Chain A
């Protein structure tokens, strides 16, 4: 019974931490525009957190450049246990239009395990919300 409540709580208040590992900030702005009145995510309980300690879901945008790779790993380790990763935007899924550059590790999945991929360059805000919802179903 207890963990049924805990599951419910986890589903109802997913806190997001956003990390941009070298992207063109198109997806980041779409992610930020989730909080604005038109696409208000706070009604789903999603809150944008600013410290890895507080967050549950790491939403990562951008192809992983060599410089950000070490930091991406460290942030992933800093997050407390029940954590998930969403790769937002085709850059973070497969390196997108920049794949093959001399400085890019195509996509997030060869650095940290990823749960949900959101395609689109830049990914539309509705797609991000849909990604989070799909992730929450996976949590059950």
Chain B
């Protein structure tokens, strides 16, 4: 929630404006909960309300895992890295299904586009992040972190991997330059056009938590070597790190224009994916 406020404040600052007050996301969500729900007839009610609920739940669990690994190592079991990435990727699929249930014209088109984007960017995100796990030789978060503690934090040897993971994260969170499904000017709000009230609030919450979880995951994999986690300064440093990443996200979204769907796809397949594969191969050799 607070991160979302940071993001809106930063984009406002870039544009030379004073951003919204800190409690703004809170006020938005409460107000949305209090609003009446209207759904176009012809969408089955259960399905339409189930979707935002499940997507919020999945993202929340992913968040717990990540923060769990932050706090102490017992929480993270062997394969939690894969589980987290899967949980994080689920909401975008549900986002697409949400579009299909509310049978508005804009929702369907928005849904198709988010599906296209989903395929290309989830893969990228997974491949780039797996670079770190290959290097550290273990699929669990704590494993990655412990491998980094003695050696250099992964940011330095794997800068390319980090940049690719960042691109994947932007694609996944559908932030500008990749926010085509939610493109304000063409698709109104894409799949969310028909949602209102409580359901919209849930979608909003999923978006907030997804951003934090993604950033935390990145911070976890790439920066964790510098501090040991449990002491108070450790948490402070990790917060600063996450704010830094958030700053980078807002900066990128402020600079680039929204790419067209075909540019986005071929940019990804022709440029990002081969690069990340090559990068992983490099790590294996090293």
Contact = CB atoms under 8 A, between A and B. Distances in A.
Interface of A: 5-6, 8-10, 12-13, 36-37, 40, 42-43, 45, 47, 50-51, 53-54, 56, 78, 80-82
Interface in B1-39: 8, 12, 15-21, 23-24, 26-31, 33-38
A8 B27 contact: yes
Interface string B25-61: 0111111011111100000000000000000000000
24 contacts: A6-B30, A8-B27, A8-B30, A9-B27, A9-B28, A10-B31, A13-B27, A37-B15, A40-B18, A42-B12, A42-B20, A43-B21, A45-B20, A45-B21, A50-B188, A51-B192, A53-B38, A53-B193, A53-B195, A53-B196, A53-B200, A80-B197, A82-B35, A82-B36
A10 B34 contact: yes
A50 B12 CA distance: 19
Given A10-B34, A54-B189, A54-B196, A45 B27 contact: yes
A6 B28 CA distance: 10
A12 B27 contact: yes
A24 B12 CA distance: 30
Interface of B: 8, 12, 15-21, 23-24, 26-31, 33-38, 184, 188-189, 192-197, 200
A31 B183 CA distance: 21
Contact of A50 (B18, B28, B184, B200): B184
A13 B28 contact: yes
Contacts, number: 80
B24 A81 contact: no
Contact of A12 (B16, B23, B33): B23
A16 to B, nearest CB: 13
Nearest to A35: B17
- Please report whether the interface of chain B is mostly helix, strand, loop or mixed according to DSSP: loop
A82 B32 CA distance: 10
A9 B15 CA distance: 26
B275 to A, nearest CB: 36
Contacts of B20: 42-43, 45
Contacts of B12: 40, 42
Contacts of B188: 50-51
B143 to A, nearest CB: 43
B24 A45 contact: yes
A42 B7 CA distance: 13
B31 A13 contact: yes
Q: What 7 A-B pairs have minimum CB-CB distances, sorted nearest first?
A: A81-B36, A9-B30, A12-B27, A53-B196, A40-B17, A9-B31, A13-B27
B8 A80 contact: no
